[in-house]
Structure 1
Amino acid sequence: MKQSSVILLLFALLCSFAQAQVLPFRTYSIEHGLSESVVNDLIQDSEGYLWVATSYGLNRFDGIQFKNYYTEEGLLDNRVTALYEDHNNQLWIGTESGVNVLRSDSIHTPQALRPLQSSTVLAIYQDQLNDYWFATDGEGVWHWDQSRNLTQYREVNGLGGDRVRDIVEDDRGVLWFATREGLTKLEGGNFRTFTTEDGLADNRLRDLALTSDGLLWVATRGGLCRVKEDDIHCYSEDDGLVNNRIQSISVTESDGLWLGTEEGGSFFEDEHFTNYAIEEGLANNIIQATQYDREGNIWFGTFGGGISLFLGSGFKNYTVEEGLPNNVVTAITEDPSGSHWISTYGGGITRIDSSGSATTYNSENGLVDNKVYTLDSDGEGRLFIGTRWGLSIFDGHQFVNFDEEELPYRKIRALHQSRQEPGNWWLGTYGEGVLKYDGNRFEQLTEEDSLANNTVMAVEEMEDGSVWLATYGGVSRLRDGKFTNYTIQDGLPNNGVLDILKDKAGNLWFATFGGLAQFNNNGTFETITAADGLPDEVCYFIEQDDRGIFWIGTNRGIVRFDYGAYSSGQNSKEVPAFKLITQDQGLVANEMNAGASYEDSNGTLWFGSVGGVTQFDPTKEKVNRAAPKVHIENITVSGESIGVKPDLEVGSDNHNITFTFIGINFTAPHQVEYRYRLKNSGEGWQRTTERSVRYPALMAGDYTFEVMAQNNDGQLSAQKAEISFTVLAPFWLRWWFFILLLVVISGVIAFIYNYYRVRKMVDIERMRVRIASDLHDDVGSALTEIALQSDFLQTMDVDDPLQESIRQIGNQSRKIVSSLDDIVWSIDARNDTLGDLTDRMQDHVNSVLPEKEVTYQFEGNMEEKLQVSLKENLYLIFKEAINNIAKHSNADKVEVALSTNGRGFSLRVRDNGSSAKNERKSGQGLRNMKMRSNRIGADITFNNSEGFEVRVEHAG
């Protein structure tokens, strides 16, 4: 055995830093999208957005990205100096050149406030009467009442000074003004100003705030002042304030005060100040604005450092910047003095004392190797250190190292002091089994002794004396000199076991490459994997705090595991069974290291990672009960942004729709989970951690997209964001196209039908003309010839009986010729018009009634064609009526009227014959007229009053 002395004088050369821890500040500046790093004001609106007023532009922040507004978007000036949300949730913007108001994401300039455009507006306030007040830098305050009257108040009117920085109103309706010349209150129409003579620390005021107990707090250039019923009490650096020059005040829900000063931030509660500056992780010490958000976080707007979000003091981080020699932390332990020791892979070991100072020891000081795997304290002040090149024991003064003959097994990966035999140690190695060290010699146990695997990552001992070993081949239990091995076949989620924990109840837990496993008394394992909700399968270590909550190191961060909530099958009231803690919440890095965890004597947990070490106080754990405000940010159709607007319609050729949304959460913005659905698409509620959803092929129809957001503490947004839209059908599937198609098809059918109908009608007309011609030329000529022959025979000397027969033949032939003439006229297609009918009617009247006075009244389109049956029957009815007049009437006047309207017709034939004569107008002729009127569907009436009238009507 050889010993190496450490010269204490070298300590001065070692890294030593006071208060060497970094708190979880998250900073956003120009490189993150902020328009400018000089921040003048901060506000969180009712929709959850954080608004940042800078010296070059206005910014809206949703936890992920910034949206910038400049003069191009409507600002009166790019230097934004004040922000305020009124009772109607409108955002008012004070600039160096007047006031703007933002409505529906559009910036407007109220015309009535144009007089303020020559003023730098430093504060805006709406009082209980809904009147607006505008504080300016040098022109006092402007009052804009409900009657839209604008009134200016200056120092000459009683205001303390013309440079006014802030305005508030207390619950009694008293207005308070922070001026550069003191604190002014407006009560009952009267001004009164308080100065240093009344107890103020300084007359130069910057900000005002009211707490729920009615106290008014004043930020001055000389400290913090409290005003209660005109009594003023002040606090300064002598009371613990970080700096007297206070520029901003924000109030927490418990009436704590966050103060922004020119030397950092202070939190004031219970008459005590806690201060934060660059040394604790703040981006810049000059703080010009503060904002306490709805999640319980405090924001600092700085002069040149952008905005910093402080997540609380539960996490403290140590890296190379705070004194660590290396950021790859492999193990943590605590010595009896309360100092913490950190081992790093490549930098040796570092001691962090109770003051936060860090001191590093490495191979130059006697450590056997700087690449340290593990370390542990024996309770007597000695530190056992397992390295890549053997074991070192440090007693606070010197290192004791072992040569290769004494300890040929060099890679010491795990250390455990026996509880049953405190003088004995168990050493797990990389690839060479487990070693038992009794202070004098090393005893090796390997796979040849039935060890599951020669790489041993962790060792734990139970009260029954059994020793449990985490190996790369499963879990080995050594009891009574014999090994019992457990692998995947026995219920382990993975054979690569990295850590062992004996919990507060005495149960064994194993962290593996495939999840967690709890060993039950019946010899079985309860596995907990990603399928059960574990955020990551690779579990590097497992710890349990004093409340019974488990903390698991993974590649994605630390998993908070509430086994009680998990085993009951329900989430706990405050948080879900699994909760992922990442850099967002304050970890120094997300990727942990195997076995690099420790619970110290105060119940504080330490987590080692590839980026440093994190100290976590579970008693300061924050639960974010503020559910995210969810908004649909944008809609993209076929790659083109169309914004979010009502009554949205998407064309038939643009079915690729993407919805972008955000659940505003600042504590863990990248761990917000979304639930969404598309109503009328057939899908139910879906889950995603992405902030957009794409629907590539929606059918035509009406849809509503709905989305809700849930934070990492299980709080689900009470209201969902939704947008309704219509996907239009292709034109060939729209109703008007079907109607058009039906019309076209009907038109084609009608065209074809009419074409063939007309063609058939033409053929029929041709046939009618041919038949008429044949009847006229052949039959008519033959009958005429018979009539002429009968006339010739009558001139000859024949017997009287024969003479009579010949005469009858001639008369019958002429009668047939006359009837045939009517038939030929009816059949002939060239006689189908209304004009042809009236001409025929006149010809017949002239031939039958040549001596009577006849009047005609014809109405209608003379070129209108009539159906053959209508023309024939109508003419024959008319002919019969005229023949009756000729045979039976003594009339000397006859009226003939015929009218058509394209649908129906009316025929009237009237004579003025005497009633005695008209009584003979009956018999076969009237029956024939009735029969013919029935054929054409017409009504026929006879009227023998004052003559005789035949009326034939068809309504059409």
Structure 2
Amino acid sequence: MNKQALTIVVCLCSWLLLSAFATASELVQRVFTARDGLGNSAIHDMATDDYGFVWLATEEGLYRVSNNVVRRVDNEETQSRLDEEFFVSVTKLDHQHLLAVTEHNAYLYDIRENAFHRFGSPQLFPEFDSGALTATAVLPDGNLLLLSAEGKLWRLSRDASHLQALFMLPDSDDGSWNRLLLLKDGRLLLGSVHHLALYDQQGQVIQDELWNANSGSYYSLYQDSRQRVWISGQDGLYRLNLDSLHLSVVPQIPFLCRMVSEDSNGNLWVVIRGGLLKYYPQEQRIVSYKDQLKQRAGIDSPNKILIDSHGLLWVSGTGNPLAILAEKPAFLLDSITNNAAVDIDTVWSVAADKQYLWLGSNGGIFRINLQTKAADRFVLEGLEPSDSIYHIDAISPEQWLLSTTNGLFVFDKEAKRGHRLFTPEQPDGALNHKTIFNVLHEGAQWWFATNHGLYHWVQGGSVEQVPLPDIATTQKRLIVFGLYRDKQHRLWVGGNKFLGYFNADGGFQQVEGHDNDVLKTTMVNQILQIDDEHFWIGTRSKGMLEFNLNTSEIRSLDQAWQVDCDGVYFVTDTQDFRIVGCPKKLSGSKNKVENCW
């Protein structure tokens, strides 16, 4: 990753981690309140789909939630589409369907069609006679086991085309069957609030009375990646030994437990009455996040937790209905915190030498001692408080070249002083009053993309404008943003409604789409060569595009990846990943194959 890409990555990652409601050291990252459209109704279940949305089964409808948008799907123009609105569970079937369960009925919800289909209706599984469902479990092949209150177990195919009744359980002394866990070995734990038994998939009892009714109620069953079974009980967290079928209480958690979920590191997050714990089973150690959850998220008592594929924790409860939590990420090795002496507001660029971290900000440059974390701020002669430093590049071991919204500056690290870059032809300073968006440094040669065109500088000489002939613009000036040198040594230049390159003889060749004029309708700000004929093009309003140089065909990577990336902040190539910086997210492909994460 080059310095330019590293600069933008660091800035974007900092913004992503810090912008919501918390610093990187805090747990709570986002809080949803009634003002976000979620209301104050209790959330009974949560699920994720293949599109990155979280679905909420609440007492007042079924909701779809992204990082910043909440939508209720069972209402249309404030009118309910169903005869009921109390949802108790939601489960993903495949990329197109959800199983949504209310107090009295089960529904197949079609995500694409935004349509509900009731189980037991003439149109969908008329043989279904169980009414409401109380629990579900996903089989290894993606099919779903469904448990009804009266104890009937069904199997639903993943594509929702077949439903089969498997067996009927005996009457429950508690009135209804509502506990189901499919073990990794294929056996089933089935029960009610005071009863638990082990069954095979043919409905035969292997062991009954696994739960001691004297311990009160239990609320949920969970099997982790090490195949340990955890039972959240009224008086604590229990572990069920699958060999001896013996129950033992976890001595560190003698509290009422509602549910358990495992993170990617094998640790357990335990929802208890009035709080949230992180339990390290190997160390038998707990960490409480009760105070953070209450003070930062406004959740007095959590009741549900969901850990999504990105490791984010979605927690619901009383008070504010929903919050997103995230621990300090493992890749974050160090952090800089503001202190009373130096207030670092906005960081536009980052550079580093052996001893210091340098941050380009508004009106000046910060120097952070990497050992002591002590910070100093330096003001440059001629740089106004409202001017921003977009790039920091080494012009020599002792000097930085600073590209700003008001021209080029030189900063002497030893003298701790900065001034405009003066050249023989620009004694008042180079690129005064011009915003420099991008920099390409090649030895003694420099290329600058600005809001007044493309410029070239050979150290020791003057900064000269490079004409881009035949580029049509409706503005008085030509805005240039993207700069890239490909494997064939062509210099690519992108900007406001154009993309092109300089060929071997120095002539500029503009490129256009074969049957797509998208390059003439947006700002091209990022360029990356994938192979000899394919290029990734990052734009300001049209997302990520792929351009075929041989055929001039253009296709949308946003559509191919099914992501929303209207504006591309950066695109870079690493050993294992191609990474794209989008608003509020990082996207890209892993191991150079086309898929998105």
Q: Is 2:506 the partner of 1:523? A: yes
Deviation of the 1:273 alpha carbon: 12
Q: What is the identity, as a one-letter code, of the residue corresponding to 1:537?
A: T
Structure 1, gaps ≥5 residues long = 1-14, 156-160, 317-337, 339-352, 626-712, 715-956
Q: Cα gap change, 1:231/1:72 in structure 2, threshold over 3 Å: closer, same or farther?
A: same
**Post-superposition CA distance 1:535-586 (Å, at most 9, x none):** 97235667899xx9968473x49x4466xx74465999xxx6643899986x
After superposition, where does 1:359-758 map in structure 2 within 5 Å? Answer: 359=338, 365=342, 376-381=351-356, 383=358, 385=360, 387-388=362-363, 397=374, 399=376, 401=378, 407-408=381-382, 410=384, 411=387, 413-418=389-394, 421-428=396-403, 430=405, 433-436=407-410, 442=419, 443-445=421-423, 455-457=434-436, 460=439, 462-479=441-458, 481-489=461-469, 495-498=478-481, 500=483, 508-510=491-493, 512-514=495-497, 516-525=499-508, 533=518, 537-539=522-524, 552=538, 554=540, 556=541, 559-560=543-544, 566-567=548-549, 578-579=557-558, 616=586
Partner in structure 1 of residue 57 of structure 2: 53
Does 2:373 match 1:358? no
Deviations 1:35-62 (A, max 9, x none): 7631213568999998753234566899
Q: Say which SS state the counterpart of residue 579 (structure 1) adopts.
A: helix
Between the aligned partners of 1:467 and 1:122, the Cα distance in structure 2 is 67
**Structure 2 residue aligned with 1:891:** none
SS at structure 2 position matched to 1:468: strand
Change (3 A) 1:583 1:409: farther
Q: Secondary structure at the match of 2:398?
A: coil
* Corresponding residue SS for 2:207: strand
Which of 192, 200, 218 pairs up with 2:207? 192
The answer to whether residue 166 in structure 2 is matched with residue 154 in structure 1 is no
Choose which of 257, 268, 281 in structure 2 pairs with 1:245: 257
Match of 1:286 in 2: 302
Higher CA-based Rg: 1
Structure 1 residues 399, 192: closer, same or farther in 2, change over 3 A? closer
Tell me how far 1:488 sits from its aligned partner. Answer: 3.0
The answer on 1:180 being equivalent to 2:193 is yes
Distance 2:223 2:497 in 1: 53
| 1:19 counterpart = 2:25 | yes
Is this contact kept in 2: 1:249–1:258, CA < 8 A? yes
Task: State how 1:792-941 maps to structure 2 within 5 Å.
Answer: none
* Amino acid in the other structure paired with 1:487: P
Q: Letter of the aligned partner of 1:418 in structure 2?
A: A
On the 8 A contact 1:259/1:290 being kept in 2, the answer is: no
Secondary structure of residue in 1 paired with 2:469: helix
Query: Counterpart amino acid of 2:465?
Result: N
RMSD: 6.9
Q: CA deviation at 1:485?
A: 2.8
The answer (yes or no) to whether the contact 2:271–2:303 under 8 Å persists in 1 is: yes
- Whether 2:123 is the aligned partner of 1:123: answer no
Mapped to 2, the partners of 1:401 and 1:260 lie a distance apart of 48
Shift of 1:185: 1.8
> TM-score, normalised on structure 1?
0.39
Q: Alpha-carbon deviation of 1:66? A: 1.4
Structure 1 pair 380–386 and aligned structure 2 pair: CA distance change class (3 A): same
Cα displacement (A) at 1:457: 0.8
> Residue 153 of structure 1: SS of its match in structure 2?
coil
Give the structure 2 partner of residue 302 of structure 1. Answer: 316
Distance, in Å, in 2 between the alignment partners of 1:528 and 1:502 is: 16
Q: What amino acid is aligned across from residue 514 of structure 1 in structure 2?
A: K
Residue 178 of structure 2 aligns to a residue whose secondary structure is strand
Whole-angstrom distance in 1 between the partners of 2:116 and 2:230:
34
| Alpha-carbon shift at residue 19 of structure 1 (Å) | 1.5
Q: Structure 2: give runs of 5+ residues left out of the alignment.
A: 1-20, 110-114, 155-162
TM-aligned CA distance change 1:624 to 1:92, over 3 Å: farther
Matched, 1:66 2:111: no
CA deviation vs aligned residue, 1:763-811 (integer Å, no higher than 9, x gap): xxxxxxxxxxxxxxxxxxxxxxxxxxxxxxxxxxxxxxxxxxxxxxxxx
Return the alpha-carbon distance in structure 1 between the equivalents of residues 108 and 283 of structure 2.
40
Change (3 A) 1:173 1:534: same
Letter in 2 for 1:193: D
Q: Provide Cα deviations, 1:15-52, integer angstroms capped at 9, x if missing partner.
A: 995615876x796x765665763121356899999875
Residue pair 1:175, 1:186 contacting (<8 A) in 2 also? yes
> Structure 2: which amino acid aligns with 1:473?
H
CA distance in 2, matches of 1:560, 1:392: 33
Describe the shift of the 1:451–1:583 C-alpha distance in structure 2 as closer, same or farther (beyond 3 A).
farther
Task: Determine if contact 1:387/1:413 at 8 Å carries over to the other structure.
Answer: yes
Task: Specify the code of the residue in structure 1 equivalent to 2:74.
Answer: K
1:476: Cα distance to partner? 1.7
Residues 1:135 and 2:114 are matched in the alignment: no
- Residues in 2 aligned to 1:424 and 1:196: alpha-carbon distance in whole angstroms: 72
Cα deviation for residue 264 of structure 1 reads: 5.5
2:438 and 2:450 in contact (8 A); partners too: no
Q: What residue number does 1:167 align with?
A: 180
Residues 307, 314 of structure 2: 8 Å contact kept: yes
1:39 equivalent in structure 2: 43
Aligned-partner SS, 1:180: coil
Contact 1:498 1:540 in 2 (8 A): yes
In structure 2, the residue matched to 1:899 is none
Q: Deviations over 1:81-133 (max 9, x none)?
A: 3568999x9968452xx5567798476889x99x999xx974378999x9975
Distance 1:123 1:383, change over 3 A: closer
Task: Answer yes or no: is the 8 Å Cα contact 1:434–1:446 preserved in 2.
Answer: no
Which protein has the bigger strand share? 2
Does the aligned pair in 1 maintain the 2:422–2:430 contact within 8 Å? no
Quick one: structure 1 residues 271 and 205, their matched pair in 2 at CA, closer, same or farther if it must change by over 3 Å?
Answer: farther
Aligned residues: 516
Report the counterpart of residue 638 of structure 1 in structure 2: none
Deviations 1:128-165 (A, max 9, x none): 9x9975337xxxx468999999875234xxxxx66743
Paired AA for residue 302 in structure 2: I
In the alignment, is the contact (CA less than 8 A) between 1:219 and 1:249 conserved in 2? no
Query: Are 2:205 and 1:220 equivalent residues in the alignment?
Result: no
**1: CA distance, partners of 2:116 / 2:438:** 61
CA–CA separation in structure 1 for the residues paired with 2:509 and 2:317: 54
TM-superposition CA deviations, 1:421-460 (whole Å, max 9, x none): 32233344555x5345566685514975897775151574
Cα offset for 1:179? 3.5
